Structure 1
């Protein structure tokens, strides 16, 4: 709005005329001198426009600016509150991880059916299934061993193939803030970057039972029931190591190497001392 030459009254300096203004300041010439004021804030206490139409328009501008100020203040308070809660969560998480003792079998392997195979690599999460009996029947299974050092291994077996031919589809590190015992919905989300999908050709070369065995029956390869199993951290390191060797695309190989190194660090595994795979398939 144009306020040039509009008459104003100041509580101290008396009557004056506006000689210049922009979005931040207004200049007024009084009887003996010119003064600059913050615009439109000065009109809240010190200045008054004589022109009623202009005063009404200015009131609308001031109300709009006040609403913007209140909104900005609310957003600032909300951001401070969000940061405070995030910091508190981080401290609680840090404390929990400091006291957390690594479980030697804190990796999960999933049997993905046809439906899951079509969406797991778009949604990048898996579902643990529900409890089949007891007081908690129908509730999602809690992946209690899963922490930020854990990986979800995705596998499948074609119905026409024997169990020994179960192949690996992909892997992902769990989300860095995920703690299994706090999981209520049975959904395990992936890390934002450490996730790998194998091509059909790569998957055919990655047989699950090359790494895994049932210690009670080390020569048997059976998976009759259950959606998932826990398995040893060192077996997961072997799988990731072989995926690095398998990848030919430079970017994917770099990601696989970074994934492998991060996993070993999180699980306190010495890469140089990693044993060769010795799963059930290697004992035939």
Structure 2
């Protein structure tokens, strides 16, 4: 829009003529002197064009700019809200991390079906399932006991085999900033470092029920329903040290040992005082 030589009236300086113009400013010659103004903002309240046709076109430009300004302000406000929300969540997270009390049964064993046996290791996460009844039906289960000291044990049993033959497929520590109480989607991600997958031969030597026992029914080996169970911290340590013993490759053995040492540190377990496994299979 070319405004050179267009007549204008300024509230303070009176009538004038536009002598210079660019994308961000205009210069106007008044009776006594020339003045520079911010373009097109000055036309909002202080300056009026005499040419009505040009004034109408300029008004549309001003309206568009005002909409853009309001949209930018809205985006900034939304960004501030988002940052405040993130700050609130971070403070809540730090508070939970700081005040966390170690639960003696804060480990999870997960039942993997055929599809999950592949996805659990390709994606290194499991889904805790959905609530089946009540007011929260359809929502994801919150693994409330899981914290930074928790590990997830992946297990499976062939459909043709009895429950007593449930095998351990692998294990991982939860992601270092994971807190079960804050988990809304039900997915439990793995730690970037502490994760182990067993070979089929190793898995055949690691039977879950050698470690796990139902306190109410110590001689029974039944899973019943649900995708997961919580279990004792020391049982997980027993499983991890046995995995270390299984590993023949020096690098894999070192990795498993580092996992075990980290787990014991996080769960305040003294390796030398760890009892031998005494699960349901050991009692038959």
Verify same fold: TM over 0.5.
yes
| 2:177 corresponding residue in structure 1 | 176
| 1:97-130 Cα deviation digits (max 9, x unpaired) | 4333110220111111124335445493312455
Does residue 212 of the first structure (1) align with residue 235 of the second (2)?
A: no
Does residue 2 of the first structure (1) align with residue 2 of the second (2)?
A: yes
Number of residue pairs aligned between Structure 1 and Structure 2: 277
Question: In the TM superposition, what is the alpha-carbon distance from 1:59 to its structure 2 partner?
Answer: 1.5
Aligned partners of 1:131 and 1:141 also within 8 Å: no
Aligned partners of 1:152 and 1:172 also within 8 Å: yes
Aligned partners of 1:212 and 1:235 also within 8 Å: yes
| 1:132-182 Cα deviation digits (max 9, x unpaired) | 8xx8896776534223432332221223456446032453515835334x6
| 2:56 corresponding residue in structure 1 | 56
Gaps of 5+ in 2: none
Aligned partners of 2:151 and 2:173 also within 8 Å: yes
Alpha-carbon distance between aligned partners in 1 of 2:248 and 2:51, rounded to the nearest angstrom = 77
Alpha-carbon distance between aligned partners in 1 of 2:87 and 2:78, rounded to the nearest angstrom = 14
| 2:12 corresponding residue in structure 1 | 12
| 1:66-115 Cα deviation digits (max 9, x unpaired) | 11211121222222222223323333333344333110220111111124
| 2:128 corresponding residue in structure 1 | 127
Structure 2 counterpart SS, 1:109: strand
| 1:189 corresponding residue in structure 2 | 188
Alpha-carbon distance between aligned partners in 1 of 2:77 and 2:137, rounded to the nearest angstrom = 41
| 1:42 corresponding residue in structure 2 | 42
Alpha-carbon distance between aligned partners in 1 of 2:235 and 2:73, rounded to the nearest angstrom = 53
Gaps of 5+ in 1: none
TM-score w.r.t. structure 1 length? 0.70
| 2:224 corresponding residue in structure 1 | 225
| 1:154 corresponding residue in structure 2 | 154
Going from structure 1 to structure 2, the CA distance change for 1:215 and 1:199 (only over 3 Å counts) comes to: closer
Aligned partners of 2:25 and 2:38 also within 8 Å: yes
Alpha-carbon distance between aligned partners in 2 of 1:147 and 1:113, rounded to the nearest angstrom = 25
Tell me how large the CA RMSD over aligned residues is.
Answer: 4.7
Alpha-carbon distance between aligned partners in 2 of 1:202 and 1:65, rounded to the nearest angstrom = 69
Alpha-carbon distance between aligned partners in 1 of 2:260 and 2:66, rounded to the nearest angstrom = 54
Structure 2 counterpart SS, 1:5: coil
Alpha-carbon distance between aligned partners in 2 of 1:205 and 1:28, rounded to the nearest angstrom = 89
Alpha-carbon distance between aligned partners in 2 of 1:273 and 1:18, rounded to the nearest angstrom = 90
Aligned partners of 2:156 and 2:166 also within 8 Å: no
Aligned partners of 1:212 and 1:280 also within 8 Å: yes
Q: Which moved more, 1:11-20 or 1:272-281?
A: 272-281
Alpha-carbon distance between aligned partners in 2 of 1:176 and 1:240, rounded to the nearest angstrom = 22
Alpha-carbon distance between aligned partners in 2 of 1:177 and 1:269, rounded to the nearest angstrom = 21
